[in-house]
Amino acid sequence: MKIAALQMSATANPTTNPDRIIAAMARAKEQQADLLVAPELAMTGYGRGEELIKLAEPADGPTVQKLTRAAQDIGISLVVGFPEREGDTLYISAMIIDGAGGATQIYRKAFLYGSYEKGIFTANGPSCFVVDLCGLKAGFLICYDVEFPENVRRLAKAGADIVIVPTALPHGEEGRHIAQKVIPVRAFENQVHVVYANHADKDLMFEYQGLSSIAAPNGKTLAAAPESGEALLFAEITPDVYLPCRERNPYISDLELAERNQKAE
């Protein structure tokens, strides 16, 4: 599978975000990508404050439908963050659109970060969300979720080949550490690919770290964006290439063996 990750500049008019995502899908398809990953709340922009309450849509809302039609017309799958409404409850969610015409699926953020998110949204709590996508098993997390090692390990134990993480990582020393150190370690310690798609630059409320990346199971970075500016990253995801690395670093199989032995005692 060839994957594209979109780093979105937060400086543009956020009302145009759906069209920007569609344009990125078209550019990614021109490069033979099978899947495009856009950031957390990319559909509306992250730093919209309480306006997100009005902008939130149900899983079959008009903008969701627009992006679904575009993905299927272009012939590319899409993962994009959006504010989801279910009745009176709002979630930070990622919709997973199968460009081949399969059902659209929704992952809801497990852990909310800070008073900003907690004042608007509801945390869904930890889950193990793994779906078949473009011929691979893909697990999903959003932003802060990936900073809990247990979440990535849960997906790896469930057989995920790749962990997809739309994010809105803030700018600063800690953000730089997460993007450049934590993400490749998560890939290595679980022997999975990790796709980390972030915003960059500033909106009216926040400044973002950029540094979107695609990390391989051996901990190496296959593609990376700078700290500022819009970027479209590409990488070939071929899990079998990393079988020797998994054999040398059998964290998941050794952990599962230890757990079985413990249960047998």
Take residue 264 and report the two structure tokens written for it: 């047998």
Q: Please, are residues 237 and 1 in contact by the beta-carbon 8 Å criterion? A: yes
Catalytic residue IDs: 40, 109, 143
Report CA-CA distances (Å) from 21 to 24, 46, 72, 105: 5, 15, 14, 18
- Using CA atoms, how far apart are residues 155 and 78, in angstroms rounded to an integer? 20
Report CA-CA distances (Å) from 219 to 63, 95, 152, 214, 223: 36, 27, 14, 10, 12
- Using CA atoms, how far apart are residues 216 and 25, in angstroms rounded to an integer? 23
User: 3 pairs with which residues across the strands?
Assistant: 35, 235
